[in-house]
Amino acid sequence: MANAIQFKVNGVAHSFDDDPDTPLLWYLRDILGLTGTKFGCGVGLCGACTIHKNGDAIRACITPMSSLAGAEIRTIEDIGANGLHPVQKMWIQFNVPQCGYCQSGQIMQAIALLKTKPKPTDQDIDDGMAANICRCGTYQRIRAAIKAAAKELA
Amino acid sequence: MSAIENVSRRGFLKGVATAGALVLGACYAPEILWGQQSNDLRTDDGQTDADKATLHPNVFVGVETDGTVWIVAHRSEMGTVIRTSLPLVVADELDADWKRVKIDQAIGDPRYGDQNTDGSHSIRSFFDVVRFSGATARLMLIRAAAQQWGVPASECQTEIHTVVHSSSGRRLGYGELATAASKLSVPKKDEVQLKPKSAWRYIGKGMTSYDLTDLVTGKAVYGMDAHLEGMLYASIEHPPVLGGKIKTVDSAEALKVAGVSRTVVVDPFKPPPAFQPLGGVAVLANSTWAAFQGRKKLKIDWDNGPNETYDSDQYKKELQEGARTPAKVIRSQGDVDKAFASTAQTYEADYYVPLLAHAPMEPMVALAEFKDGKVHAWAPTQNPQAVQAIVSSELGIRKEDVICHVTLLGGGFGRKSKPDYVAEAAVLSHKVGRPVKVVWTREDDIQFDYYNAVAAMYMKAALDSKGKPVAWLQRSVFPPITSIFDVNAVYGDPGHLQQGWTDMPYDIPNLRIENGPVKAHVRIGWLRSVANIYHAFAVQTFSDELAHRAKRDPADYLLDLIGQPRTLNFTGVDYPNYGAAYDTYPWETGRLRRVTEMVVEKSGWGKRKLGKGAGVGIAAHRSFLTYVATVVEVEVNDQGDVRIPRVDTVVDAGLVVNPEVTKAQFEGAAVFGTSVARSGEITAKNGVIEQSNFDTYPVARINEAPYQTNVYLVESDAPPAGVGEPGVPPFIPALCNAIYVATGKRVRELPLSRTDLGKQS
């Protein structure tokens, strides 16, 4: 384990010494069983696999394990672990999800957006959320929920 | 730990599943609801919690002694919230407290009737059935209380979750009555009284998704999340051309990839493809990633077969020529040819819509285990009984020995009604003797879809001096869905021709509707609103062209075309009316007129001040028995980029059970229509699909989708109709009609990326 990569997932220390090219997505899903992070495209085009690395939203499907040394990874499972996050609460209040498959990624992206843009404009929301596809088309509710969550967090 | 336990509280099942005497042929509504308690007619396998509850008068409901009410959801949840809305109807008639209701997802089983969750008919087909199911349980609880109190049942009523004898003030909770009620015989249907509308507690008011909290916390379990100890992950290299076969395969390098345990050849389908596996080579591994990596190392030499020369550009010409060639007449009145010959002014136009892929966010995925002659499958499927049928025929086992557990679906849109991917998992598990989870990549999903048909339409009208049509010819050519079941099928079948084509509603004395033949070279399937997409595009764009030609307001002109309120008469025409009885769901032009008039008012049509490069367009369409009119506002800049600031849509879907989630369906339909219109296009060269992921098959993102979609539901006492699909068809022509106003450029061919909408051209 001399060359094992050390990092944390949802506050718990882990190490990895298998193929360093393995994407974080499949480590989370197949090894740790954290299936809240979804597979949608595999090439960073849809955002279904969005997680936080050191607080930034990134795509787990194109993040190799080799890039994780010392990283703090946070997934959807940890977001509501001690009570729902204001973004999750607004997702419920605005009845955002339809099929829900993309919503873990949308929520992770929205939380990261609100950290850098606490009072997001429509343009900020377009810029911040355009990498996350929702095929059911819940975008207008996502927009409304983000604005409401911003007020909640203010 | 197994994620499966979240899906099925029954855990990993053992033993035999047989519905025995209860097995019925395919029918929309189950006929076994009344008069039998089915508890003891099944083995433990495949039982729902409702089956096992103390009081269990029918397959949809069970009441426990602690007051818990189990309600079975037998339709698949892909985002329409049907898993909540139908149980809500049961709960209403049972007068149950929704907070004490638990929903149990049914396996595939004919005892529920039809389970194919498509065609926007779950509420329509099951509304009455599940109302009686809840009301039956309620009556039994009332009778049990009356017996206990020694009073006539007619003196007792229910309040929420409680039976009440008002004159004496006595009350008993449903849990307290469950055991006594379970000893009574199940009342016959004619003894059961449904609530009057005024007493409805939930119907028409609605409820958010039962799964809502799970959906925002990552706890919801989709097919992609199904897991069994000891399972292998499989990724399959399919023949790149439909009907292709392996000449040679070299798996040596694939097998060297760490984690890969073996490769398996999957037999090609025997034509027609239907829902059979496509064939190819599967790489099995101990993780999804290892299976994907191993697959890249396969060396396969293919015999591409007869579709190798399929070229979508060439095929487009064939379709367009076909649309200009006299074809099979499917509806005719008056004498179109004579009217064309004797009228000075005629107008004609050609329209084209390409192949479309479904691209649900969750790619195809399924987990199956073959063991002791039976298959358990966990799948995000719209049609678990079709899973039973195809797995049974692939493996030569009985349908009852295929137990299909239905997970949540990460989108469906019709793709997940076709269970080829579930059959793959079952076939592989059968071959390797271990549970196998087949995971499709996005590239697999885009390249091996059952595509919505490409279609060419030709429209011609003869016009009077005021520009109103006196004769109308419309002809379509598209590869039919039936081609996946019949290699010789070349004409549209009545079920798809009816979708906005056979039922063209305008009041025109001379009318002829035709359909021409063409052979399919890919698998054709149904996608959210299906043939309505291209038919509504042609009819509603052509109508708008005629309006502008006559220098009329397009909304006024559209209302003139729809004409006075009347019921369309399809005598002598093959018009299936979406499988609904025509006297219950007649085609009423007055309802189409009303939604059109309403959308004019709600959208501020003709009254709103629009900026430079802006325009509004209108379209109206009936599909899945629902009447919809839509106004779209666009802004097109000098570079030709299209923004959609506002959409107004008015919907008459008859009675609506769950209004808020219904509105969400129409908001989503506007986004779905945006994707179709902007960039929806699948093409092929040498039989190989040219698109593969969201870069080459883009779908609408938040900055491209309509900014605000306002949905208005018409209050109606008409019986319930569809809501999942009908928002899509009118949206697309309304958008293109708006673009015409904004730019002067007429879009006759989708997607918009085919037309330069910029200023300079």
- Neighboring chain A residues of B700 at a CB cutoff of 8 Å: 137, 139
Q: What are the start-end ranges of the E strands in B292-415?
A: 299-303, 328-333, 345-353, 365-371, 374-379, 402-406
- 8 Å CB contact of B361 and A76: no
**Closest Cβ–Cβ partner in B670, B671, B703 for A130:** B703
Mean pLDDT of B543-567: 98
- 8 Å CB contact of B667 and A138: yes
- Give the chain A residue nearest B362 (alpha carbons): A40
- Give the chain A residue nearest B1 (alpha carbons): A33
Mutation test of the interface with chain B: which of A10, A22, A29, A39, choosing the one with the most B Cβ atoms within 10 A?
Answer: A39
Residue bearing the bigger pLDDT, B13 or A22: A22
Tell whether the torsion through CA atoms of B648, A105, B1 and B400 is positive or negative. Answer: positive
Degrees to nearest 5, angle at CA A140 with B753 and A41: 60
Task: Identify whether the C-beta of residue B407 lies closer than 8 Å to the C-beta of residue B76.
Answer: no
**Closest Cβ–Cβ partner in A26, A40, A45 for B289:** A26
Q: Which residues contact B213 (CB under 8 A, 6 or more apart)?
A: A84, A92, B219
Mean pLDDT of B557-570: 98
pLDDT score, position B48:
86
Mean pLDDT of B373-382: 97
- Neighboring chain A residues of B219 at a CB cutoff of 8 Å: 36, 77
pLDDT score, position B272:
97
- Neighboring chain A residues of B705 at a CB cutoff of 8 Å: 137, 139-140
- Give the chain A residue nearest B361 (alpha carbons): A40
Residue bearing the bigger pLDDT, B84 or B27: B84
- 8 Å CB contact of A46 and B3: no
Question: What would the pLDDT profile of A69-128 be if each residue is shown by its tens digit?
Answer: 999 999 999 998 999 999 999 999 999 999 999 999 999 999 999 999 999 999 999 999
pLDDT score, position B351:
98
**Closest Cβ–Cβ partner in A92, A130, A135 for B359:** A135
Mean pLDDT of B23-40: 33
- 8 Å CB contact of B218 and A22: no
Task: Identify whether the C-beta of residue B742 lies closer than 8 Å to the C-beta of residue B626.
Answer: no
**The pLDDT of residue B681 is above 80:** yes
Mean pLDDT of B616-639: 98
pLDDT score, position B682:
98
* Angstrom distance (rounded) from CA B642 to CA B634: 7
- 8 Å CB contact of B702 and A77: no
- Give the chain A residue nearest B673 (alpha carbons): A137
**The pLDDT of residue B689 is above 90:** yes
* H or E segment to which residue B263 belongs: strand B260-266
* Angstrom distance (rounded) from CA B628 to CA B624: 10
| ipTM score for this prediction | 0.98
- 8 Å CB contact of B215 and A141: no
Assigned token pair, B587: 């085609």
Half-sphere exposure in the Cβ direction for B181 (13 Å, CA): 30
Question: What would the pLDDT profile of B390-432 be if each residue is shown by its tens digit?
Answer: 999 999 999 999 999 999 999 999 999 999 999 999 999 999 9
**Closest Cβ–Cβ partner in A29, A34, A138 for B668:** A138
Mean pLDDT of B699-708: 98
- Output the CA–CA distances (angstroms, integers) from residue B507 to B543, B564, B585, B620, in the order listed: 13, 8, 20, 15
Q: Give the minimum alpha-carbon distance from B697 to chain A in angstroms, rounded to a whole number.
A: 11
- 8 Å CB contact of B211 and A100: yes
Question: What would the pLDDT profile of B58-111 be if each residue is shown by its tens digit?
Answer: 999 999 999 999 999 999 999 999 999 999 999 999 999 999 999 999 999 999
Reported pTM: 0.95
pLDDT score, position B47:
81
What is the DSSP code (8-state) at residue B748?
-
- Neighboring chain B residues of A141 at a CB cutoff of 8 Å: 664, 667
- Neighboring chain B residues of A46 at a CB cutoff of 8 Å: 361, 442, 694
Q: Which residues contact B110 (CB under 8 A, 6 or more apart)?
A: B19, B22, B23, B24, B25, B26, B30, B385
Half-sphere exposure in the Cβ direction for A7 (13 Å, CA): 22
**The pLDDT of residue B32 is above 90:** no
* Angstrom distance (rounded) from CA B645 to CA B584: 38
- 8 Å CB contact of B215 and A100: yes
Q: Give the minimum alpha-carbon distance from A139 to chain B in angstroms, rounded to a whole number.
A: 6
- 8 Å CB contact of B218 and A77: yes
Question: What would the pLDDT profile of B712-729 be if each residue is shown by its tens digit?
Answer: 999 999 999 999 999 999
Residue bearing the bigger pLDDT, B22 or A54: A54
- Output the CA–CA distances (angstroms, integers) from residue B321 to B317, B457, B515, in the order listed: 6, 10, 13
- Rg (C-alpha) for chain B, rounded Å, is 27
User: Mapping DSSP to helix (H, G, I), strand (E, B) and coil, where does residue B628 land?
Assistant: strand
Mean pLDDT of A50-70: 98
Mean pLDDT of A6-29: 97
Q: How confident is the model at residue A2 (pLDDT cuts 50, 70, 90)?
A: low
**The pLDDT of residue B14 is above 60:** no
- 8 Å CB contact of A98 and B225: no
- 8 Å CB contact of A135 and B699: yes
pLDDT score, position B760:
58
Please provide the average confidence, as pLDDT, over all residues in chain B.
93
Question: What would the pLDDT profile of B653-662 be if each residue is shown by its tens digit?
Answer: 999 999 999 9
As to burial, measured by CB atoms within 10 angstroms (0-12 exposed, 13-18 middle, 19+ buried), residue B738 is buried
* Angstrom distance (rounded) from CA B7 to CA B379: 10
Mean pLDDT of B211-226: 97
Residue bearing the bigger pLDDT, B329 or B6: B329
- 8 Å CB contact of B702 and A132: yes
Mutation test of the interface with chain A: which of B361, B416, B679, choosing the one with the most A Cβ atoms within 10 A?
Answer: B361
- Give the chain B residue nearest A136 (alpha carbons): B668
**The pLDDT of residue B759 is above 90:** no
* Angstrom distance (rounded) from CA A74 to CA A108: 9
* H or E segment to which residue B549 belongs: helix B531-549
**The pLDDT of residue B546 is above 60:** yes
- Give the chain B residue nearest A138 (alpha carbons): B668
What is the DSSP code (8-state) at residue B399?
G
**The pLDDT of residue B44 is above 60:** no
pLDDT score, position B45:
57
Mutation test of the interface with chain B: which of A90, A101, A121, A138, choosing the one with the most B Cβ atoms within 10 A?
Answer: A101
- 8 Å CB contact of B215 and A79: no
Q: CA end-to-end span of chain B, whole Å?
A: 62
- 8 Å CB contact of B217 and A46: no
**The pLDDT of residue B761 is above 80:** no
- 8 Å CB contact of B694 and A45: yes
- 8 Å CB contact of B669 and A137: yes
Q: Give the minimum alpha-carbon distance from B284 to chain A in angstroms, rounded to a whole number.
A: 14
- 8 Å CB contact of A26 and B258: no
- 8 Å CB contact of B215 and A97: yes
**The pLDDT of residue B27 is above 80:** no
- Neighboring chain A residues of B408 at a CB cutoff of 8 Å: 99-100
Least confident of B9-18, B76-85, B323-332, B522-531: B9-18
10 Å Cβ neighbour count for A22? 22
- Give the chain B residue nearest A102 (alpha carbons): B361
As to burial, measured by CB atoms within 10 angstroms (0-12 exposed, 13-18 middle, 19+ buried), residue B159 is exposed
* Angstrom distance (rounded) from CA B597 to CA B197: 28
Among B186, B188, B129, B196, which residue's Cα sits nearest to residue B157?
B196
Q: Which residues contact B400 (CB under 8 A, 6 or more apart)?
A: B16, B17, B18, B19, B23, B388
Q: Give the minimum alpha-carbon distance from A110 to chain B in angstroms, rounded to a whole number.
A: 12
- 8 Å CB contact of A101 and B81: no
- 8 Å CB contact of A92 and B213: yes
Mutation test of the interface with chain A: which of B289, B438, B649, B667, choosing the one with the most A Cβ atoms within 10 A?
Answer: B289
